[in-house]
Homo-oligomer: A and B are copies of this chain.
C-alpha cells in the first residue's frame, strides 16, 4: 500500500506521502485543535457541573486527536505548524461567521459542523495510504457525542417547539458557510482538490477496492487540480448534504 502513495514529483517535503495527504493531515490537525478550543469553551458555559465535565471530556478527546495528527506530521518529516497554517484562515473564518448566540446553537453547531466535516474528511481518507486512512478514521470516532448532542436538542425542542424553525435555519446557515469555505480551500490547495477529485472519480467509476481508489489517487495525477476536479468536488459536497439531512432529523429538525 505505502508504495502506491509514493513520494510524488512535486513540492512535498521529505515525506513518504504526497502533498495532498500532508494537506489533509494539516487541515485535520488544525480542525481538531479548533474543535478542542470550541468544546472547551462550550464546557465552560455548560449549565451544570456534570455537563461541564462531560464536554470537557469531549474536548480532551479532541486534543488527543490533534496530538496524534500533529505527531504523525512530525514523523513524516513535515513541520506540523507549516502543514496546518494554510487552513487557519478558512477554518477561523468559518467559526467567525458562525458564532453561536446560545447554548443550543452551539450544540447544533458542534453536531452539524463536526458531522459534515467528518464525512468530508472520511471521504478524503479513503483514497490515502492505509496508515493515513486509519489515522483519520480513528480521529473521527465520535464516541457518543452525536447522541449526547442530538438528545439535548430534541429535549429542548420538545419543551419549546418554536425553537425548531430557528434552529433549522441556523443549521442551514452552518452548512452553507462550511461548503463556501471548503470550496475556497479546494481552490487554493490544488493537491488537496486533486486528491479529493481522484477519489470521487474512483467512486464514480465504481472502483470497489481501497487499493484501486488509492491507485486512482496517484500523486503524479494529484499535482494537477483542474476545473474538472473542482466540479467533482462540488458534486461530492452535494452528497455530503444528504448525510446532513439525516442529522437534522435526528435532532428533530426539518430540512
Residues of A within 8 A of B (CB): 30, 33, 36-37, 40-41, 43-44, 48-50, 52-53, 56-57, 59-60, 63-64, 66-67, 70, 80-81, 84-85, 88
Q: Which 3 interchain pairs have the tightest Cβ spacing?
A: A40-B40, A60-B63, A49-B81
Pick the contact of A53: B49, B60, B70 (CB < 8 A): B70
- Contact: A37 with B33, CB < 8 Å? no
- Contact: B53 with A59, CB < 8 Å? no
Could you list some 30 contacts between A and B, CB below 8 A? A30-B49, A33-B52, A33-B53, A33-B56, A36-B40, A37-B40, A37-B44, A40-B40, A40-B41, A40-B59, A41-B41, A41-B44, A48-B81, A49-B84, A49-B85, A49-B88, A50-B81, A53-B66, A53-B70, A53-B80, A53-B81, A56-B63, A56-B66, A57-B63, A57-B67, A60-B60, A60-B63, A60-B64, A60-B67, A63-B63
How far does the alpha carbon of A33 sit from the alpha carbon of B67 in the complex, in Å?
20
Given contacts A36-B40, A53-B80, A57-B67, 15 further A-B contacts (CB under 8 A): A33-B52, A33-B56, A36-B56, A37-B40, A37-B44, A40-B40, A40-B41, A40-B59, A41-B41, A48-B81, A53-B81, A56-B66, A60-B60, A60-B64, A63-B63
| Residues in B whose Cβ lies below 8 Å from that of A53 | 33, 66, 70, 80-81
Q: How far is the CB of A21 from chain B (nearest CB, A)?
A: 20
How far does the alpha carbon of A48 sit from the alpha carbon of B56 in the complex, in Å?
23
How far does the alpha carbon of A41 sit from the alpha carbon of B37 in the complex, in Å?
7
| Residues in B whose Cβ lies below 8 Å from that of A37 | 40, 43-44, 56
| Residues in B whose Cβ lies below 8 Å from that of A36 | 40, 56
| Residues in B whose Cβ lies below 8 Å from that of A56 | 33, 36-37, 63, 66
How far does the alpha carbon of A33 sit from the alpha carbon of B44 in the complex, in Å?
9
**Most chain B Cβ neighbours within 10 Å, of A36, A40, A50, A80:** A40
A44: nearest residue on chain B (CB-CB)? B37
